[in-house]
């Protein structure tokens, strides 16, 4: 239930934000009026106070407060509402016995608060109740004697609820529950002295140890607990037992301060498979120096010592430097990796420098310099591939210059230097913005692109198996016309035509034509059809690999659809002119015979062979408020194989549900339980060919052990 609890924690944060719907006005909003309507209203202008009683309604902006009586201190900008208090904002409602709120300090409190919160994270309302709620939602909020659930809080045997003596909420940071208890069907099953939900951390404390089985670890028990020093220092403690791997323990500590944050992770494993020990050390830190300059470092070390004393060690470390202001951005990212032990050893260093700057209102430049160094037994390979981009944005067109080249910095020092590379020395591309063109009743968009560039490819594989180089100047021109228009009251047409021609100083000449035309027609309210013609062909050749166009298309596709309120069917097919053969015919049907029933079927046939290729059937039926059944099967001729892929029975009981499913293709049987408010997070156990199976997708990720 950890991930549903995380969802509930995020939903609690949303509830708390709403509870302080009486937002403190900014300087620009200071004079927003507070309107009061009541059976009795008295204003003491000398003391700058007001008192309202009987059907009191106070509105300020989009916030409405209803109460039996309200006291307003206009000087302090504070209100106190008592008796059947109702707070409404943005379609949400919260009730309380008393509400106190100060517009200036943004501090408020609610006594005996209760709400049914409608949150986009949950499919059902989240019920929250607290004896007292107080604080400033932008800083810190505390709930005392609080409980929440997606079931019914008024039911003493509700399937589940969370209760805590105190819930402390720090916006965008964490939710701390003290003396928190989990109740199942009215019985307390677990109590923790404290429980922390970190809103910015993907990892969370697990309520119970994770017990499971997989092929790598065998049976396992994994635990995770949270410790909390203060707002700047907290972390996780891990203790694991894995039948086939061994026992391990570790700690992860996280720290934060105004200009930075970081964490370290230490984990040790008594490796049963190697008879030795594994150790993983990880460190990450990032600091913001201000003025747009920041630095981040990361290091990950894994060391394995076997029973015979042999050691395998892998190290990865990186550094990231970033500078940014309104006109320019610079970034340097470097990594170093080293592997030792065993037969293979490797070492690599890579870096990438990126600088982008505005050179004027219409001109922008970008320099990208990737560099890498790999050390092998045969030597060290050093490579750099700088690229320069200059972009000009003119009236109705863009102009771009690209220069890119690979530099082999090791010269002849590395004999296995046979990597493919492409150089642009340089390339200039101009592109016009799409311009409208009237053609009868249709409006077309016309666009053009022109380019010239000198290209060079190195280490190109020739037909005889040798490597060579190709270099030539390319002149390129492309035109594009597209548009859509109505050919009649029930007919629409759209199309796209592209013509491209390229000339190479190697003597090659190539042209590429692409055409697509689509027609849609509605015969009646129930019947509609579509027809599509697609063509792409090229003439001539190119000497390069990078701009080869291998796709060749020449076909026509059609579809015929029939749809009413409860029934729909679609027949689709086509003809391939290149092969001279028709495509597969497919028929899809969906039928709603009763409310909450859905029957879908599909079949495909080969017109050439004159036989059925496959057929599928799916049925989902809600038999009552509690019971639902599902069935899915597939049929594959000519062998006549029928696969009962899924048979499912689901039981719904208010806010929770359970299902039993048989998967015929995998020959597995699964039992699943979930909260209906969070249907995507389910606990599951199965039985299959490999034994007992566990699937717990609701568990949060943990660091790589």
Q: What is the pLDDT of residues 520-564, one digit of tens each?
A: 999 999 999 999 999 999 999 999 999 988 889 999 999 999 999
Q: Residues 16, 126: contact at Cβ < 8 Å?
A: no
Q: Is the pLDDT of residue 697 over 80?
A: no
Q: Residues 173, 185: contact at Cβ < 8 Å?
A: no
Higher pLDDT: 671 or 226? It is 671
Which of 26-40, 151-165, 667-681 is predicted least confidently? 26-40
- What phi and psi, each to the nearest 5 degrees, are found at residue 5? -65, -35
The confidence score (pLDDT) of residue 17 equals 40
pLDDT in tens, 52-78: 999 999 887 777 889 999 998 888 888
What is the pTM for the complete model shown? 0.70
pLDDT mean across residues, the chain: 86
> What is the CA angle 130-132-136, rounded to 5?
110
In whole angstroms, give the CA distance from residue 575 to residue 79.
75
In whole angstroms, give the CA distance from residue 213 to residue 521.
56
**Residue indicated by tokens 């981040």:** 296
CA nearest to 429, candidates 552, 547, 551: 547
Q: Determine the average pLDDT of the residues in 458-478.
A: 90
Q: Determine the average pLDDT of the residues in 91-114.
A: 84
Share of the chain above pLDDT 70, in %: 89
Q: Is the pLDDT of residue 18 over 60?
A: no
For residue 621, give both structure tokens.
């039926």
For residue 191, give both structure tokens.
């109590």
């Amino acid at each position: 239930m950890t991930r549903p609890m995380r969802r509930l924690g995020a939903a609690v944060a949303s509830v708390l934000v709403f509870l302080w719907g009486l937002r403190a006005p900014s300087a620009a909003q200071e004079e927003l009026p507070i309107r009061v309507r009541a059976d009795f209203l008295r204003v003491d202008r000398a003391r700058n106070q007001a008192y309202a009683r009987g059907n009191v309604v106070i509105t300020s902006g989009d916030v409405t407060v209803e109460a039996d009586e309200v006291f307003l201190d206009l000087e302090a900008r504070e209100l106190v509402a008592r008796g059947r208090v109702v707070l409404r904002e943005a379609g949400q409602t919260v009730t309380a016995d008393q509400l106190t709120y100060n517009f200036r300090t943004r501090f408020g409190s609610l006594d005996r608060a209760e709400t049914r919160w409608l949150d986009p994270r949950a499919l059902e309302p989240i019920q929250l109740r607290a004896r007292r709620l107080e604080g400033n939602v932008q800083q810190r909020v505390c709930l005392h004697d609080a409980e929440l659930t997606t079931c019914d809080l008024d039911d003493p045997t509700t399937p589940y609820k969370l209760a805590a003596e105190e819930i402390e909420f720090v916006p965008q940071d964490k939710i701390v529950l003290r003396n928190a208890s989990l109740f199942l069907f009215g019985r307390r099953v677990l109590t923790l002295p404290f429980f922390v939900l970190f809103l910015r951390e993907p990892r969370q404390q697990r309520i119970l140890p994770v017990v499971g089985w997989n092929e790598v670890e065998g049976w396992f028990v994994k635990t995770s607990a949270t410790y909390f020093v203060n707002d700047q220092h907290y972390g996780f403690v891990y203790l694991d037992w894995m039948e086939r791997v061994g026992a391990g323990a570790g700690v992860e500590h996280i720290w934060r301060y105004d200009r930075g944050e970081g964490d370290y992770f230490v984990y040790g494993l008594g490796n049963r498979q190697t008879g030795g020990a594994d150790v993983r050390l990880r460190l990450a830190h990032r600091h913001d120096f201000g003025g747009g300059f920041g630095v981040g470092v990361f290091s990950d070390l894994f060391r394995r010592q076997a029973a015979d004393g042999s050691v395998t060690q892998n190290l990865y470390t990186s550094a990231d430097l970033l500078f940014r202001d309104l006109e320019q951005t610079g970034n340097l990212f470097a990594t170093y990796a080293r592997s030792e032990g065993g037969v293979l050893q490797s070492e690599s260093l890579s870096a990438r420098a990126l600088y982008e700057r505005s050179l004027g209102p219409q001109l922008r430049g970008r320099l990208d310099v990737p560099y890498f160094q790999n050390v092998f037994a045969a030597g060290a390979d050093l490579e750099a591939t700088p690229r320069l981009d200059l972009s000009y944005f003119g009236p109705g067109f863009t102009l771009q210059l690209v220069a890119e080249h690979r530099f082999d910095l090791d010269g002849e020092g590395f004999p296995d230097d046979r990597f493919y590379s492409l150089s642009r020395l340089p390339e200039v591309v101009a592109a016009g913005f799409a311009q409208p063109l009237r053609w009868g009743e249709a409006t077309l968009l016309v666009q053009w692109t022109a380019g010239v560039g000198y290209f060079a490819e190195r280490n190109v594989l020739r037909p005889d198996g040798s490597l060579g180089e190709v270099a030539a100047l390319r002149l390129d021109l492309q035109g594009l016309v597209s548009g859509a228009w109505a050919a009649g009251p029930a007919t629409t047409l759209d199309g796209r035509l592209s013509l491209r021609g390229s000339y190479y100083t190697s003597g090659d000449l190539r042209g590429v034509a692409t055409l697509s035309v689509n027609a849609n027609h509605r015969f009646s309210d129930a019947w509609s059809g579509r027809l599509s013609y697609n063509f792409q062909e090229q003439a001539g050749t190119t000497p390069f690999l990078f701009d080869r166009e291998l796709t060749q298309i020449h076909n026509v596709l059609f579809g015929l659809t029939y749809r009413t309120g409860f029934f729909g069917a679609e027949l689709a097919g086509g003809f391939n002119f290149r092969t001279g053969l028709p495509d597969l015919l497919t028929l899809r049907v969906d039928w709603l015979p009763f409310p909450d029933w859905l029957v879908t079927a599909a079949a495909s046939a080969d017109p050439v062979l004159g036989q059925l290729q496959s057929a599928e059937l799916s049925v989902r039926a809600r038999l009552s408020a509690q019971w639902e059944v599902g069935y899915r099967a597939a049929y594959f001729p000519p062998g006549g194989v029928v696969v009962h892929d899924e048979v499912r029975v689901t039981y719904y009981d208010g806010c929770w549900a359970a299902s039993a499913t048989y998967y015929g293709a995998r020959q597995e049987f699964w039992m699943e339980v979930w909260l209906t408010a969070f249907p995507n997070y389910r606990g599951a156990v199965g039985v299959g060919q490999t034994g007992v199976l566990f699937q717990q997708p609701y568990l949060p990720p943990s660091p790589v052990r």
